[in-house]
Amino acid sequence: MRYTFPHDLLRAQTEWYATYRQLADAAEKQTGTAAHRRRLQQLSARIAAHPYWRTPPGNTPAARMALREVSRSLAGARP
């Protein structure tokens, strides 16, 4: 099934992957991880509470996985 994700949801998930990568880089340098962790928490809350998940196409686990796959490719993240 193909999903059409709202722009703000797709952007939040893409930012989540970018922030996660930044956190990993900061952890290697052992500096500045707290700000990245806070940002991940904010983005996670925004993603989880998004109204899209209450709609018929969004209320399946497959929709969440599809969002992750699309966002990973947009963020250039490694699986």
Q: How confident is the model at residue 77 (pLDDT cuts 50, 70, 90)?
A: low
- pTM for this entry: 0.85
CA atoms of 68 and 44, how far apart (whole Å): 12
CA atoms of 48 and 32, how far apart (whole Å): 25
Q: How confident is the model at residue 79 (pLDDT cuts 50, 70, 90)?
A: very low
Q: How confident is the model at residue 76 (pLDDT cuts 50, 70, 90)?
A: confident
pLDDT for 78 equals 53
- Summarize pLDDT for 25-48 with one digit per residue, the tens: 888 787 778 999 999 999 999 999
Task: Check: CB of residue 22 under 8 Å from CB of residue 75.
Answer: no
pLDDT for 39 equals 96
Helical (H) or strand (E) element with 73: helix 61-75
